[in-house]
Structure formats: C-alpha cells, structure tokens
Structure 1
Amino acid sequence: MPQETDDSTDSQVQALEHACRGVVGDRLRSVSVDGPDHSGTLYRRSDLPARADAPVHEAMADGASCQSPVLTDGGRPSPPSAGADGGRTVCAFENGYVARIQVGDTSVVATTDGIKMDRDTELSAAVRGVLRE
C-alpha cells in the first residue's frame, strides 16, 4: 500500500524516477521503491500491463536471492538499524534484467529489457545520490 508522502518525499520519488529513466533510457521497464518514506511503483513503461514485473519487484525488495545473478556487490540488505549501504544486485529474469540497489533501509528495484554493466554502475550511483540528498 503506498504511503502518504510530504513534499520532500514527493521530490525524492520524482528524482528517483527521473534518475532511473535518465540512466537506462527506453530499456527501462519499471521502478519501485520500498522504504520508510514511500513504498510502491514509481514508474511502469506505458506498453506494459498493470502489475507487470510486480512479482520480481516484490521478491527483490524482500531480499530474495536471484536464480541468475549477473552482479552481486554486497547485495544483501542491511539491517534497518544499520543505516549502511547494502550494495546492489543485478539478475536476469524472464523479461530482461532486474537491479536492486539497497541504501540504508530503502530498496530501489528497477527492471530493464537489457542493461550494460556501465549503465548498472551509473544507475546505482544515481539512486544513491538521490537517496543521500
């Protein structure tokens, strides 16, 4: 269930969406966030049906390990009280790739048709930059 947000959270949510879309471009399928200030889908490409990729978003946000890891960089979520970065994980799934970036107690999950590893690094940096503002 989406949480109510204030203006600063709305700005951060919009910044996350724009950062992900700016880095990945047209290959971006969807973006969701799960954190203390907001939880839900930020973006879903218009050609996708409602709840497209929802199961993979939910599984990754809950910290599930993936069947086909492409990259794991400390991808396990950190305990909520730790406040430290939990890293990032990129996995293949049936429709492309899914990336989870964990920053403190906030998890951002993005699905793409395809992703180059340099774009994954840029996506991770962009998400971290927005969440640390």
Structure 2
Amino acid sequence: MVRPADNTTDRRLSALEHACRGVVGDRLRSVSVDGPDHSGTLYRRSDLDPGADGPVHEAMVEGASCQSPVLADGGRTVCTFENGYVTRIRVGDTDVVATTDGIKMDRDTELSAAVRGVLRE
C-alpha cells in the first residue's frame, strides 16, 4: 500500500533516491522504502518491467532471511537473488531495500551510510 507523502517526505524520498543512485550507479536495479511516512517503490531502472523486483523487496521488508547472507550486521543485510544482490537497510522503523546487478562490499557500506544519512536528517 502506497501512503501519500507531504513536501518534507517528498524531499527526503528524492534525496534517498539520488543517494542510492549516486553510490551504486548503473548497477542499481530498484529501491523501495517501507516506513511510517511512505511505503512503495522509489526507483526502478527503466529497462525493468513494473514489479520486476517486487517479490524480493517484499520478502526483505517482511524480514525473510536469506538462504546465505553475504553480509548481515546491525540493521543491514546483503543477500544474493536470481538477478544480483538485494540489500536491506533498517533505520529506526524504516526499511530501505535496494536491488543491484552486482555490488562490491565497499559500495554497500557507502550505500548504507548514504541511506542512514538521509533518513537521520
């Protein structure tokens, strides 16, 4: 369910999308957010069909565990999925889920820092 956003939320969501795209670049497939102010897809790469990564986003938000996490630490989980990698970053009561074609762990650390920076502003 997509909740409406106000101007402050719109600015934060835009900043979140730009931060994710800036860190990951062309390998970014999609970004979704699930929190008290907004729930839904923020970004989907133009070559993907609508809902292409939807099931993996939903599973991560619902707390499904990966069969073999690549990384799991305080509030961040990185897993493989059939099309690449999925990262869930939890900040307070908000989950941000990003899918990528591939990601280096240093980029994932930067992605986590960028998401946390936007959500804590």
TM more than 0.5: yes
Q: Look up the match of 1:14.
A: 14
Q: Look up the match of 1:80.
A: none
- Cα distance in 2 for partners of 1:28, 1:68 equals 21
Report the aligned-residue RMSD: 0.5
Q: Look up the match of 2:46.
A: 46
The CA deviation at 1:63 is 1.0
Q: Look up the match of 2:89.
A: 101
Matched residue pairs, number? 121
Q: Deviations over 1:2-57 (max 9, x none)?
A: 11111000001001100000000000000000000000000000000010110000
Q: Look up the match of 1:24.
A: 24
| TM-score normalized with structure 2 length | 0.99
Report the 3-state secondary structure (helix = DSSP H, G, I; strand = E; otherwise coil) of the residue aligned with 1:36.
Answer: coil
- Quick one: which amino acid aligns to residue 59 of structure 2? A
- Quick one: which amino acid aligns to residue 96 of structure 1? G
Report the 3-state secondary structure (helix = DSSP H, G, I; strand = E; otherwise coil) of the residue aligned with 1:37.
Answer: coil
After TM superposition, the runs of 4+ consecutive aligned structure 1 residues lying more than 4 A away are none
Report the 3-state secondary structure (helix = DSSP H, G, I; strand = E; otherwise coil) of the residue aligned with 1:123.
Answer: helix
Aligned-residue identity in percent: 83
| TM-score normalized with structure 1 length | 0.90
**Which residue of 103, 108, 112 corresponds with 1:115?**
103
Q: Look up the match of 1:77.
A: none
The CA deviation at 1:68 is 2.2
Stretches of structure 1 lacking an aligned partner (at least 5 in a row): 75-86
- Cα distance in 2 for partners of 1:34, 1:25 equals 22
